[in-house]
Every structure is written in structure tokens, then in C-alpha cells.
């Protein structure tokens, strides 16, 4: 859309692409992406969870999660184990090769770079405003 007062939506969409691109500069070579790193971290904090649980934590749909998990498994960073007590579910675990701390550090670096020259109180306001917009969006979805 063309420029309104100030293209808020355009900026948000642009930042989404920039966040991914900035992060992936550092992890591309390892076969990782922003989404895969996010999944890796959530598995780490929820060892043994099912795919449905992970998808809920990540707020994505299960088919989207499946492909990312396939990729992590192919990279040897995560594994599916069948559950004896429920033939439908898989329990998902990190392998020993997975290390999530560097990924969190990369993400923090990108966030710091993007926040350069912005007053902390303005950043806090922005966090609050965007969280409220997300709530509003969530509420709309229910309708």
C-alpha cells in the first residue's frame, strides 16, 4: 500500500524480513534458520513434549512444525521417540549435538543492533504497544 501518515504495517512486515535475514546471516552455514532455532530452543525447554504441544508453544500449526522438525532431525539436532503409552504421539528430544546458547546470543546481538540509538523508555513503550496490538489481534481472531 502507498504511504499513509506513516506506514506502520509496512514497517512491521519489513522488520520481520530483516529479523530473519539478520539472524540467518550467522546460522545459515549450519543449516539453521530463525524458525528452526526457535523450535530448537523450545524443545530444549520442553524435553519429551509432543509435536502438538510444541506447536502450541510456538503458536504455529502442526504441519509447519513437522517440516521444521524433519529438518532438525536430518541435521542430527533433535529426535522423535515413539511413546509406548500413546501410539499416536512422539516424544521430542534434543540430541547431544544441539547447543542453544549460541543461538540465543545471536538473537540478542541482532536485537541489540536493531535497537541502537533508541531510548530505553521508548523501547519499553514500543514493547507495550506491540503487545497490546497482538492482544487486539488475538481478540479479533476469536470473533
Partner DNA sequence: CGAAATCCATTAGCAAGCTAACAATCGTGC
Partner DNA sequence: GCACGATTGTTAGCTTGCTAATGGATTTCG
Residues that bind a copy of itself (CB under 8 A): 1-2, 4, 6, 8-9, 11-16, 18-19, 21-22, 37-38, 41-42, 45, 59, 103-104, 107-108, 110-111, 113-118, 122-123, 125-134, 136-138, 140-141
User: Is the CB of 36 or the CB of 107 nearer to DNA?
Assistant: 36
For 11, 26, 48, 81, the CA distances from 107, given in Å and listed in that order, are 20, 10, 25, 29
Calpha distance 54→80 (Å, rounded) = 12
Q: Work out which of 47, 48, 67, 114 binds DNA, going by CB under 7 A.
A: 67
Distance between CA atoms of 29 and 79, rounded to whole angstroms? 21
Task: Kindly tell me which of 60 and 100 has the beta carbon lying closer to DNA.
Answer: 60
Closest CA to 94 of 56, 134, 39: 39
Question: Of residues 64, 95, 126, 136, which one binds DNA by CB under 7 A?
Answer: 64
Amino acid at each position: 500500500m502507498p504511504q499513509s501518515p506513516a506506514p506502520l504495517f509496512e514497517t512491521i512486515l519489513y522488520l520481520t524480513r530483516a529479523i530473519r535475514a539478520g539472524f540467518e546471516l550467522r546460522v545459515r552455514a549450519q543449516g539453521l534458520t530463525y524458525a528452526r532455532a526457535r523450535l530448537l530452543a523450545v524443545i530444549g525447554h520442553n524435553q519429551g513434549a509432543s509435536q502438538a504441544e510444541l506447536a502450541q508453544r510456538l503458536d504455529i500449526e502442526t504441519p509447519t512444525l513437522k517440516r521444521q522438525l524433519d529438518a532438525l532431525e536430518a541435521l542430527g539436532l533433535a529426535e522423535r521417540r515413539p511413546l509406548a503409552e500413546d501410539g499416536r504421539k512422539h516424544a521430542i528430544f534434543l540430541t547431544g549435538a544441539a547447543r542453544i546458547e549460541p543461538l540465543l546470543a545471536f538473537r540478542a546481538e541482532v536485537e541489540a543492533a536493531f535497537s541502537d540509538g533508541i531510548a530505553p523508555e521508548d523501547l519499553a513503550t514500543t514493547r507495550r504497544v506491540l503487545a497490546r496490538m497482538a492482544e487486539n489481534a488475538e481478540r479479533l481472531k476469536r470473533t
